[in-house]
Amino acid sequence: MRHHHVLHVVAKMVIPLILLFALYVQFHGDFGPGGGFQAGVIFAAGLILYGLVFGVDRLRRTVPPGVVRGLAAAGGLLYAGVGVAGMVLGGAYLDYGVLLPDPMAGQHLGILLIELGVGVTVAAVMTSLFYCFAG
Amino acid sequence: MEYVINTVLLALLAVTAGAIVHLRNLFAAVMLVGIYSLLTAALFVILDAVDVAFTEAAVGAGISTILMLAALALTGREQTAATGPSAVGLAVVLATGAALVWGTLDMPHFGDPNAPAHVHVAPRYLEGTLTEIGIPNAVTSVLASYRGYDTLGEVFVIFTAGIGALALLGGRRES
Amino acid sequence: MDAFLGYYNYWIVIALMMTGLYTVAASGNLVKKIIGLNIFQTSVFLFFISVGKVSGGTAPILAEGWTRYSNPLPHVLILTAIVVGVATTAVGLALIVRVNRAYATIEDDEIRRSDLPDSS
């Protein structure tokens, strides 16, 4: 798809919006529909669209596969790490109430962090799957 | 009105599934799977599962279609062997289906507010999401807080599946 | 009519499930088998969400003016299952790609034939 000018122009306009929308879904998941799983998939879809229109090699240079693999592990570790942080602060594993002095604020922080972990892992795994199949 | 849309969408879904099974051209079948996923997402909206609909629309109609197309590009897009209808398969499927239909007959009716599924933990989650967690979306609070262990497990399943695909197809250096 | 509508969702789900099962059993093409598994899997998703629906309820995002909500628990289970489903489908497709590299076909009877000792 190297020479489709219409595709190139439209993709250049749409891809930033897709990534922005993914971030919105990620951080607005507490109040409306959305959350880490959806945001991760949408973010990966934006990257995959870039790869399809501009070529996988360009996507590889922008988002190196090694970094993607590292992020996949980092997201899971962030999730598990929040659980450990709860234990260190005297609560149960994955108990967010103890993260901050105010239990309600602690819950907010915990949910924000673990949703971030979920989003990073899902986006990274989906992108890495695309790299596997795109050769 | 809700129920009319529900009925029509489910009928469309059954027709699409039949067409997918019938088609010999794998490329067309994969495209129909994308449509099937989109119909499912619409149905999830009607059934009040907006978060699920969101996921299904992004995953089913987006990522999974692309992965299947990529796999077809690496293998072949036509089903070569002419496998006719299998009598044994049909018999097994009909018997299983009949048993399952018989099993549904003492289930609570669709949408029944007093069904056992709705009286046990769900009211507790719906009450607690504002007073204990402080966020209005009950799905997020159950996913992230009440059932955080489940979600942790799911995240690592996704991670493991990613590693599995990577181990099977490898990086670029191998090819 | 009421009883029919009360069970209609479950019955369509069973029909979809059996369609998927039949595809897995009867089709010789490995990609078609994965598609069959996908249909089967989606039917289970639909079943859970149908069970979670409360008539007269709304989506479980608390808002003023609503007192009746659909059950959020099946939504959570299925939400994660969908993403896990695509990841496991990808593993299946990766296996098929490897099978195709080794046997140069993705039809299961041809694979079985080339595995027979006298075929070489």
pLDDT tens digit string along C62-73? 888 888 899 999
> What's the distance, CA A70 to chain centroid?
13
How far is the C-alpha of C117 from the C-alpha of C120, rounded, in Å? 7
Widest CA span of chain C, in angstroms?
A: 74
Residues of B in contact with A94 (CB under 8 A): 148-149, 152
Residues of chain C with pLDDT under 50: 120
Per residue in A24-51, pLDDT tens?
999 988 888 888 999 999 999 999 999 9
Please report the sign of the dihedral spanned by the C-alpha atoms of residue B134, residue A41, residue B162, residue C24: positive
Chain C positions touching B157 (Cβ under 8 A) are 84, 87-88
Cα separation of B74 and B97, whole Å? 35
Scan residues 116-175 of B and list those with Cβ closer than 8 Å to C: 117-118, 121-122, 125-126, 129-130, 136-139, 142-143, 147, 150-151, 154, 157-158, 161-162, 164-165, 168-169
pLDDT beyond 80 at B113: yes
CA nearest neighbour of C75 among A94, B163, B15, B117: B117
CB crowding A56-73: b at 16 or more within 10 Å, else e: beebeeebebeebbebbe
pLDDT, tens digit (0-9, with 9 covering 90-100), for B7-32: 999 999 999 999 998 888 899 999 99
Query: What tokens were used for C34?
Result: 């994965």
The full DSSP string for A43-88 is HHHHHHHHHHHH-HHHHHHHS-HHHHHHHHHHHHHHHHHHHHHHHH
**C-alpha angle with apex B86: B81 to B90, nearest 5 degrees?**
145
Provide the residue type at C101 as one letter. R
Name the residue with tokens 């029919």: C4
Spans of all domains in chain B:
1-79, 114-170
Cα–Cα–Cα angle for C18, C20, C25, rounded to 5 degrees: 90
User: Is pLDDT at B86 greater than 90 in this prediction?
Assistant: no
Cβ–Cβ below 8 Å for C32 and B26:
yes
Q: Two tokens at C55?
A: 């008539």
- Whether the CB of B44 is below 8 Å from some CB of chain C: the reply is yes
From CA B169, how far away is CA A129, in angstroms rounded? Answer: 9
Region for C104 from its dihedrals, namely left if φ exceeds 0, alpha if ψ lies in -120 to 50, beta otherwise: left
pLDDT in tens, A58-117: 999 999 999 999 999 999 999 999 999 999 998 888 888 888 888 888 999 999 999 999
Q: What is the mean pLDDT of residues B87-99?
A: 92
Residue C64 within any structural domain of the chain: no
Q: Is residue C107 part of a domain?
A: yes
Residues 6 or more apart from B146 whose CB is under 8 A from it?
B125, B128
What is the model's pLDDT at position B127?
Answer: 87
Q: Is C20 a domain residue?
A: yes
Q: Which one of B58, B143, B158 has the shortest CB-CB distance to A121? A: B158
Spatial separation of the C-alpha atoms in residues C39 and B123, rounded to whole Å: 32
Could you tell me if C49 and C78 are in contact, meaning their C-beta atoms sit under 8 angstroms apart?
yes
Please give the residue range of the domain that contains residue C25: 2-54+69-119
Q: Alpha-carbon distance A74 to C17, whole Å? A: 37
Which 3 state secondary structure label does DSSP give B49?
A: coil
Query: Which two structure tokens, joined as six digits, stand for C99?
Result: 């099978």
Domain B1-79 -> CATH class = mainly alpha
Question: 3-state SS string over B65-81?
Answer: HHHHHHHHHHHCCECCC
What's the rounded Cα separation, in Å, for the pair C18 and B163? 31
ipTM reported for the complex, 2 dp: 0.91
What percent of chain B shows pLDDT beyond 90? 49
Q: What is the token pair recorded at C118?
A: 């006298």
Structural domain total, chain C: 1
**Hey, what are C95's tokens?**
């296996």
**For residue B62, what is the nearest residue in chain A, using CA coordinates?**
A45
Q: Flag if B165 and A129 touch (Cβ within 8 Å).
A: yes
- Positive or negative CA dihedral for B35, B37, B38, B39? positive
Contacts of B74 in chain A (CB under 8 A): 133, 135
pLDDT at A7 over 60: yes
